[in-house]
Amino acid sequence: MPLHPSLRALLLAEEQRHGEVQAQLADPQAARDGGRFRALLRESGRLERRQARFAEWQRLERTATEARALAAAEGDAELVALAQAEAVDCAARADALAAELQSELLGGDPLSDRNIILEIRAGTGGDEASLFAAELARMYRRYAERRGFRVEEIACSLSDVGGYKEYVASIEGDAVYDALRFESGVHRVQRVPATEAQGRIHTSTATVAVLPEPEEVEVAIDEADLRIDTYRAGGPGGQAVNKTSSAIRVTHLPSGLVVICQDERSQSRNRSKALRTLRSRLFELAQQRKQDERASDRREQIGGGERSEKIRTWNFPQDRVTDHRIKESFHHLTGVLDGDLAPILTACRRHEMEQRLAALERQTLPDQRTHRAGP
């Protein structure tokens, strides 16, 4: 399977970048900055793994070509058969590697290896929206269990009926952001609430934000830009939580962002969690600004993470989940809510890859205007 010329160019550019990263890692100054050093190590590992696969693809392509040439030139039937078998085997392995590289380069994201901060908020629909938000939170926890990810709750605001007005958690593991980046947006649910006496279907919404977690070096927070308020935590949590001023409200004055954390008994731990969430939100804002600069290109692709985008409808009466970005429906809704998200996420990733490859091919087409016949 041949690699698209633009993908080859990208891989060659990454080879140069890998050399630059190795040079920076060798600089004694880099080791003195722990955050920067870890970021460089992570980038180096990612580039090294991809370069190794690219080198192996090149080797297999050469071997397959040489084997085909040998089979064409050789007169001995046994040697011809061996050469043909080697050519077929190498070509098949090269195709598999090319598919992996294409999928990673087209469907991947520079932040794919990051941990995330997951934020879920009840939208329109009152109590029913909060119950749906709680179901989404459980779904992501179950999905994380299946993948071996670690979930740590950061903040949780309960509604009167036991749902979530807001739920914030960190999820750590291998390439968590790559796994869940398609979940950002508005999720709509259509069903008959338990409190509905006449059996009417109600429509409610919940918003999901998947924020890649930055290194501290990537988002510097000036203490002078923060207003930190402490107060007694409200809601369930035990006497120690409710009778001490352990709850933290952090306001980032330049951006106006506010983060509240009250789940821990320790004020310092609440403060640490709040700053962690704030750092991810600021990082998201910075990434969004970068995306806006290339908005015309990004509009052609899915998974932009805009919270105002209605991405999915959960229709309980029809046992159906519809992803509006890829215009595809999936059944067995209860299984999906139990954490079986893989089919939907795979379809989203495939669609994104197809869109990006189509955009890449359009970029490489010759400008037809330069080939018009003269008068």
Among 107, 140, 160, where does a domain finish? Answer: 107
Same domain, 147 and 15: no
Same domain, 136 and 235: yes
Among 107, 141, 159, where does a domain finish? Answer: 107
pLDDT of residue 268: 82
Same domain, 130 and 254: yes
Is 370 inside any structural domain? no
Same domain, 191 and 304: yes
Q: Give percent of the chain above pLDDT 70.
A: 85
Is 375 inside any structural domain? no
Residues in the chain where the model's pLDDT stays below 70: 1, 107-108, 195, 197, 216-217, 232-245, 290-309, 363-375
Looking at the structure of the chain, the number of domains it has is 2
Is 363 inside any structural domain? no
Same domain, 172 and 304: yes
pTM: predicted TM-score of the whole model, two decimal places:
0.67
In whole angstroms, what is the distance from residue 87 CA to residue 62 CA? 10
State the DSSP code for 341: -
In whole angstroms, what is the distance from residue 337 CA to residue 210 CA? 17
Is 320 inside any structural domain? yes
Per the DSSP assignment, residues forming a β-bridge with 211 are: 117
Same domain, 129 and 227: yes
pLDDT of residue 245: 64
How many angstroms separate the first and last alpha carbons of the chain? Answer: 42
Q: What is the CATH number of the domain that holds 181?
A: 3.30.70.1660
pLDDT of residue 64: 93
State the DSSP code for 214: P
Same domain, 152 and 176: yes
Same domain, 137 and 92: no
- Contacts of residue 233, defined as CB under 8 A and 6 or more positions apart, other chains included, come to 241, 242, 244, 246, 247, 262, 263
Same domain, 139 and 249: yes
Residues 118 and 281: beta-carbon distance below 8 Å: no
pLDDT of residue 319: 96
Among 52, 80, 107, where does a domain finish? Answer: 107
Same domain, 181 and 81: no
State the DSSP code for 200: -
pLDDT of residue 139: 98
In whole angstroms, what is the distance from residue 349 CA to residue 343 CA? 10
Same domain, 94 and 124: no
pLDDT of residue 169: 94
pLDDT of residue 304: 35
Same domain, 66 and 135: no
Is 364 inside any structural domain? no
In whole angstroms, what is the distance from residue 52 CA to residue 100 CA? 12
Is 374 inside any structural domain? no
Is 165 inside any structural domain? yes
Is 10 inside any structural domain? yes
Residue among 44, 43, 25 nearest 33 (CA): 25
Q: What is the CATH number of the domain that holds 44?
A: 1.20.58
What is the domain range of residue 328?
116-355
